[in-house]
Amino acid sequence: MRKASALNIAALGAGIAFLYLPIVILVVYSFNASRLVAVWGGWSTRWYAELAGDAPLLQAAFISLRIALVSASAATVLGTLAAVALVRFGRFRGRLLFAAMIYAPLVMPEVITGLSMLLLFVAVSIDRGFWTVVIAHTTMAMCFVAVIVQSRLVDFDTSLEEAAMDLGASPFKTFVAVTLPLILPAMAASFMLAFALSLDDLVIASFTTGPGAMTLPIRIYSEVRLGVSPEMNAVCSIMVLVVGTAVIAASLLTKLGTARGSAARP
Amino acid sequence: MKLGRGNSFWRKLAIWVPYAWLVAFFLVPFLIVLKISLSQTAIAQPPYTPVFDFAAGWRGLRDFLAGLSLDNYAFLGSDPLYVLSYMKSLEIAAFSTLLLLVVGYPIAYAITRTPRRLQAVLVLLVVLPFWTSFLIRIYAWMNILQHDGPLNRLLLLLHIVREPPAWLSTDTAVYIGIVYSYLPFMVLPLYATLEKLDEQLFEAAADLGCPRWKTFWLVTVPLSAPGVLAGALLCFIPIVGEFVIPDLLGGSKTSMIGQTVWTEFFANKDWPTAAAVAVVLVCLLVTPIVALQYQAMRGAERS
């Protein structure tokens, strides 16, 4: 029987506190009535009200949301195809390079990904803006999608697909009728993660964006460099709420998928 | 039988669409960085000469090769700014990976000691902050670490310090920010390894009279080596190229290499130097990246 000692519980408690306390403090400060962030002036929602009137900030948020939506959709499709190719197609020419290109962007420092993307866009003289950020985010996120969907694909029993094909279904029909429903929760989860990644990215977007496509993180970064401010506390609290909700929903979906996947096993 | 049996249209589509995308937007850009790092500043600055003139054919290729130079790399080696920047990045990455291991291991181990149902919740709790913006989490620490912020107030209240110390713009702040941001990357692989260890091994050790701490040291720790390696690589590689954390929490004395690329690019507009700095960074990271990939692919194939 597993047993947690007092030392284990202390480590867990300290770890969770370390992870969450800064975010809690941030949210509490966002309700501080005082303009001086460090001086407590009572509870107030005035900074949230001021955000509503900050047109450039709202515009940046809108651009970020659109970029996240488009790039997460593209990344989910491309990443799923990549995962299916890696797991189900056996050996094909260039598979090793393919796999390497899936894993490398996951750990590549962002400044390098951003720089190389920008130099590509300059080399083929594409004007930078909305679409260049979308391409960059899609490339980064599709690798995350591929890894998540891949782990789901290796998890479930191929006998289901074999049965469908023995009964005369074409590989395409088998994919649509058998494989796709089983990996759908993983795809939904990775879509949300791709969405969150895009919404959060500062470095790659800074390199690949152009005039007229300032994203929310770029806007926040330019303000935050100057120091702490109550408006930024409020913006950040809202983002924590939005992303937190998306991720909890994503993990619930994955769990649902896992439960259904194991139920489908013989 | 495989899904993609035969050379059907769909099989080709599923392979070549993502493949072509990655070649076009990951591999080719990297080759362009390589090329620009080898070209002279005057030529490669915007407005910018084409990377390779296909129309010129063989002569174009010869001119292209003749135009390459190692000047930028020689420049990097000659200026202590860059060398110090690399050293600083490696030093901060190595030390913070060690810190992460010290902080992350007890947490990962403690999770495996709790009942199964609770484990899933705890893992989610550890991962959750990772998905809230990097930028916001660092900003949260700017709040805490500022001169009259909560940390200094607490320290004054408890009479631990007389004068509030300056936290921001120090290496300590950078380490705090890194450990905070990368903790999930360390805890998850450690947990994944520790959780798979056979419970009977511990029972056997206990039956043979081995004290718990000794079992931990002689059985648990050596068996968790793959998780330690994966976690360390997963943290070390991106930390070396980290930009946001040193930029917002660190001082201006020595910058990490990610900041150097950023400055060369955005402030100095010296693209060839920025490209050369990036190429050297990738060369430094190539061994850990290949090690990590090898492990990840082996893990994927085994399961």
Q: Do B26 and A101 touch (CB under 8 A)?
A: yes
**Residue B201 counted as domain residue:** yes
As a whole number of angstroms, the distance between CA A71 and CA A75 comes to 6
What is the predicted pLDDT for the residue at A1? Answer: 44
What is the predicted pLDDT for the residue at A157? Answer: 72
Q: What percent of chain A has pLDDT over 70?
A: 93
What is the predicted pLDDT for the residue at A77? Answer: 95
**Residue B44 pLDDT exceeds 70:** no
As a whole number of angstroms, the distance between CA A119 and CA A220 comes to 25
What is the predicted pLDDT for the residue at B34? Answer: 86
Q: Which of A167, A203, A107, A70 is nearest to B134 (CA)?
A: A203
- Which pLDDT tens digit goes with each residue over B194-208? 888 877 888 888 888
What is the predicted pLDDT for the residue at B66? Answer: 64
What is the predicted pLDDT for the residue at B183? Answer: 93
Lowest mean pLDDT across A19-23, A247-251, B28-32 = A247-251
Mean pLDDT, chain B, rounded, equals 81
Tell me which amino acid residue B211 is.
P
What is the predicted pLDDT for the residue at B7? Answer: 52
Question: Average pLDDT, stretch B159-170?
Answer: 81
Total structural domains within chain B? 1
What is the predicted pLDDT for the residue at B47? Answer: 40
Which CA distances in Å does B221 have to B69, B122, B228, B234? 49, 21, 9, 19
As a whole number of angstroms, the distance between CA B156 and CA B162 comes to 6
Question: Average pLDDT, stretch B153-173?
Answer: 83
Domain range annotation of chain A: 54-263
**pLDDT confidence bin for B70, thresholds 50/70/90:** confident
Lowest mean pLDDT across A87-96, A139-148, B48-57, B139-148 = B48-57
Q: Which of B61, B57, B39 is nearest to B48 (CA)?
A: B39
**Residue B22 counted as domain residue:** no
Here the CATH number for the domain that contains residue B114 is 1.10.3720.10
Complex ipTM tops 0.85: no
By C-alpha distance, the chain A residue nearest B303 is: A154
Mean pLDDT, chain A, rounded, equals 84
Tell me which amino acid residue B95 is.
F
**pLDDT confidence bin for A264, thresholds 50/70/90:** very low
B262 neighbourhood in chain A, CB within 8 Å = 111
Instruction: Name the DSSP class of A158.
Output: T
**Residue B142 counted as domain residue:** yes
Selected residue of A2, A12, A91 to mutate for chain B interface (largest B Cβ count, 10 A): A12
B271 neighbourhood in chain A, CB within 8 Å = 119
**Residue B132 counted as domain residue:** yes
Q: At a CB cut-off of 8 Å and minimum separation 6, what does B169 contact?
A: B249, B250, B251, B252
**Residue B256 counted as domain residue:** yes
**What φ, ψ does residue A43 adopt, rounded to 5°?**
-80, 140
Name residue, tokens 């195809």: A81
**Residue B91 counted as domain residue:** yes
As a whole number of angstroms, the distance between CA A188 and CA B113 comes to 31
Residue in A12, A78, A107 closest to B237 by CB = A107
Q: What is the residue range of B252's domain?
A: 80-302
Q: Is domain A54-263 given the CATH code 2.70.98.30 in the classification? A: no
A8 neighbourhood in chain B, CB within 8 Å = 106, 109-110, 113-114
